[in-house]
Amino acid sequence: MMSGYISIRNLQKFYGHYHALRGIDLEIARGEVVCVVGPSGSGKSTLIRCINRLEDFFADSAIHVDGVPVLPGANLAKVRAEVGMVFQSFNLFPHLTVRQNIMLAPRRVRGTTKAAAAAQADQLLARVGLESQAEKYPSGLSGGQQQRVAIARALAMEPQVLLFDEPTSALDPEMVGEVLDVMRDLAQTGVTMVVVTHEMGFARQVADRVIFMDGGEVIESAPPAEFFSAPRETRTRNFLHAVLDH
Amino acid sequence: MDLFETFLNFEVLARSFPMLLKGLWLTLKLGAASILAGLVLGLALCMMRLYSVRPVQILTRIYIDVFRSIPLLVLLIIVYYALPFVGVRLSPFASAMTALTMVSGAYTAEIFRSGIEAIPKGQFEAAAALGLGHRQTMVDVILPQSIRMVIPPLTNNSINVVKDTALASVVAMPDLLKQATQAQALAANPSPLIGAAAIYLAFLLPLVLLVSRLERRLNRGKA
Ligand SMILES: Nc1ncnc2c1ncn2[C@@H]1O[C@H](COP(=O)(O)OP(=O)(O)OP(=O)(O)O)[C@@H](O)[C@H]1O
Ligand SMILES: [Mg+2]
């Protein structure tokens, strides 16, 4: 039986013959903020991309979001409307202004009126501190600003779940803070967040739970206090040594 | 013998001018109609080639490759002279438009495909993650970006279509070239042909220059 708001059972993912996810079981509660950490190639991106089925996964596996199975077909649009995603490379639509980027999905998927979508976009821009940038095109913004627009765009669908795939990894160091600040605020709002990140400080302060992945498996899952001070698994300890020792 | 008298005889040119104009009008009509129909066909072919079930994809691909290989003149003659044997009798204009459209559609499909495949995967993913369907993703996200990229090659293709309309004169369509050859025969002087060449140039040379400029601008954007 499912217990979590996001329920992942025996998630298997193959890229050709390569076994990228080796039977992940994970329950995430409504409103929980989960940070996923682990070495490069451990399957972190693959895991969260399966949650909204940007990646197909093995038929024996099951993912449910709010009780809805994440399967191809009519349900998938429903799941995707509830699950927002923020990418490492922003992926803003370059031919649309910042405001239009945010308005597009509400208008097309929810059928929101133009006026309502515009008002909502401006509200969201204010929330991420970019109210003066609505008319600009993405190419006119800094990386940090673009990522904040991408967050606003995801929020426009009023998602119950937000997935982040290394949202600050493509940013210049001086811009990481502004994006993490927005995410910190979001974490207070009760939205369920799954954040793949290398920002251990953020995980320590904001996460309800930290998950360590290696070799396509979840090795350890614990609240940050425990995770960072008393990791149980050797592999976790080695990883933390490597990333925290500089 | 005076070269001017022979090739740029203004008297002959002036007399044949109304004929040339009539031909030009037909050439432009044929060109525009074939370009537009080719765009529609090309977009449809491109979508079938990229996003349909496997057998349709393969058939589409065969169509595209065949119609890019076949000489237009051969196709045109088949449409005009061979189809009547199976009861399909098209006017010269319809024959020419059919042949031009079929070929232009094949080229256009490949141009659109390159434009779509040049869009980063992240754009498709961002659209999918927002809950946009396939059609909405294409219409609102992908195609508007592709179209910018494919304007230079599409313009190039359009230039080719207009040039190729001249082949329609072999199926007795009174286009610009046909009118010019008739005027030449009437006047026993080749000046109308030179006039026709000048008219083709006047229409197409600016387009050629425009493409170069667009390409330079797009490349600058990339750097
Ligand atoms: N499209 C793909 N085709 C083939 N193999 C892939 C593909 N995407 C990922 N992989 C492989 O699957 C494994 C897991 O990849 P994934 O991107 O999930 O790792 P990650 O933990 O997110 O790494 P990083 O920290 O570098 O982003 C890697 O070994 C990777 O090479
Ligand atoms: Mg990754």
Residue B126 inside a domain? The answer is yes
Asked if A69 and A75 count as a contact pair (C-beta separation under 8 A), the reply is yes
DSSP letter (8 states) at residue A133? G
Q: What pLDDT score was predicted for residue B222?
A: 47
* Centroid of chain to Cα A212: 16
B67-101: per-residue pLDDT in tens? 999 999 999 999 999 999 999 999 999 999 999 99
What the block records as the tokens of B201 is: 């140039």
Give residue ranges of A with CB < 8 Å to any B CB.
52, 54, 77, 80-81, 83-85, 87, 89, 91-95, 104-105, 108-109, 150, 153-154, 157
What the block records as the tokens of B204 is: 């197409």
Residue B174 inside a domain? The answer is yes
Q: What pLDDT score was predicted for residue B215?
A: 81
Rounded-to-integer distance, Cα A126 and Cα A106, Å: 18
Q: What angle do CA A37, A38, A39 make, to 5 degrees?
A: 145
What the block records as the tokens of A6 is: 């996001």
Contact residues on chain A for B137, CB-CB shorter than 8 A: none
Q: Is some CB atom of chain A closer than 8 A to the CB atom of B126?
A: yes
User: B128 and A87: CB-CB below 8 Å?
Assistant: no
Q: What is the DSSP string of A52-108?
A: TTSS---TT-EEEETTEE--SSHHHHHHHHHEEEE-TT----TTS-HHHHHHHHIII
SS3 B14: helix
Rounded-to-integer distance, Cα A245 and Cα A175, Å: 23
- Please choose from A42, A164, A196, A217 the residue to mutate so as to test ligand 1's pocket, defined by most ligand atoms within 8 A of CB: A42
Strands A192-196 and A33-37: parallel
- Tell me: pLDDT of B199 over 70: yes
Residues B201-216 have a mean pLDDT of 88
Residue B119 structural domain: 1-217
Q: What pLDDT score was predicted for residue B220?
A: 63
A133: closest CA among A150, A117, A116? A150
Which residues does A186 contact at the CB level (< 8 Å), separation at least 6?
A151, A155, A162, A193
Helical pair B143-164 and B191-222, crossing angle rounded to 10 deg: 160
Q: Rounded to the nearest whole angstrom, what is the distance from the C-alpha of residue A35 to the centroid of ligand 2? A: 13
B160-187: per-residue pLDDT in tens? 999 999 999 888 888 899 999 998 888 8
ipTM of the complex: 0.94
Average pLDDT of chain B is 91
SS3 A158: coil
Residue B223 inside a domain? The answer is no
What the block records as the tokens of A194 is: 């799954």
Rounded-to-integer distance, Cα B76 and Cα B82, Å: 9
A203-231: per-residue pLDDT in tens? 999 999 999 999 999 999 999 999 999 99
Report the 10 Å Cβ neighbour count for A44: 24
Which residues does A44 contact at the CB level (< 8 Å), separation at least 6?
A36, A37, A38, A165, A196, A213
Q: What pLDDT score was predicted for residue B1?
A: 62
Distance from CA of B92 to the nearest CA of A (A): 43
Closest A-chain CA to B145: A95
Helical pair B143-164 and B92-117, crossing angle rounded to 10 deg: 150
B45-54: per-residue pLDDT in tens? 999 999 999 9
Using CB atoms and an 8 Å cut-off, which of residues 131-160 of chain B contact chain A?
131-133, 136, 140-141, 144-145, 148
User: Which residue owns the Cα nearest ligand 1 atom 30?
Assistant: A41
- Tell me: pLDDT of A26 over 90: yes
Q: What is the pTM of this model?
A: 0.85
Residue B144 inside a domain? The answer is yes
Residue B12 banded pLDDT, cuts 50, 70, 90: confident
Rounded-to-integer distance, Cα B138 and Cα B123, Å: 10
Count of all residues that appear for chain B in the document: 223
Residue with tokens 């024996």: A60
Number of domains in chain B: 1
- Tell me: pLDDT of A1 over 80: no
Residue B222 inside a domain? The answer is no
Q: What pLDDT score was predicted for residue A228?
A: 95
Asked if B111 and B157 count as a contact pair (C-beta separation under 8 A), the reply is yes
Residue B188 inside a domain? The answer is yes
Domain containing residue B115: CATH number: 1.10.3720.10
Residues A78-102 have a mean pLDDT of 95
Residue B143 inside a domain? The answer is yes
